[in-house]
Amino acid sequence: MNTHRIAVSLLAALAGITAAGGATKAPPPAPNLAWQEECGSCHLAYPPRFLPAASWQRVMAGLGDHFGTDASIEPAVAKEITTWLAANARKPKAGKPEPVPPPLRITETRWFIGEHDEISAARFKSPAVGGAANCAACHRTADQGNYSERNIKLPPK
């Protein structure tokens, strides 16, 4: 085996790894226009991957009292959004039971709590942030669905 062939097989192996990595970290789905419009006007349109399908179905079934606000929308639009959210929702992990009832708030999910454990409650409540609902206060590219670590910038205290 010459060095060239080794290099080729190494490249092939690397490509395989990248492809596998890409499979687990799929690019965000093309945004649904109704979701962007209806879910993105009072708060940032939270990406479907932030909640499991069962949670989205609960959220969408209760828009008449959406965390204290009447956020009801046209039934046909609600149906379209629910289908899109559920199709792109967080997939349950094998062997990890999903909480029952499914959480309504993203901030109550285990992964959210885990990801934000270094952020104090006071920091969330600070005037520049206002609350955990305001992703874009720190995730500066959240409006484009990008929550990458390198785009985080905490506002001044």
The piece of 14-22, 36-44, 98-106, 113-121 that touches other proteins (CB under 8 A) is 36-44
Q: How far is the CB of 69 from other proteins (least distance, A)?
A: 6
Q: Is 130 in the site for other proteins (CB under 8 A)?
A: yes
Q: Does 104 bind other proteins (CB under 8 A)?
A: no
**Which long-range contacts (C-beta less than 8 Å, at least 24 apart) are formed by 113-117?**
none
Site size for other proteins (CB under 8 A): 14
| Residue 60 contacts other proteins per CB under 8 A | no
**CA distance readout (Å), 85 to 2, 6, 13, 42:** 51, 45, 35, 18
Based on CB atoms, which residue is closest to other proteins, 54 or 124?
124
The region that residue 78 occupies, defined by phi over 0 for left and psi between -120 and 50 for alpha, beta otherwise, is alpha
- Supply the minimum distance, in Å, between the C-beta of residue 87 and other proteins: 21
What 3-state DSSP class applies to 152? strand
Q: Minimum CB separation from other proteins for residue 139, in Å?
A: 12
- Scanning 2-120, the segments in alpha helix (DSSP H) are 3-24, 33-39, 53-61, 75-87, 110-115
Q: Which residues bind other proteins (CB under 8 A)?
A: 42-44, 67, 69-71, 129-131, 133-134, 136-137
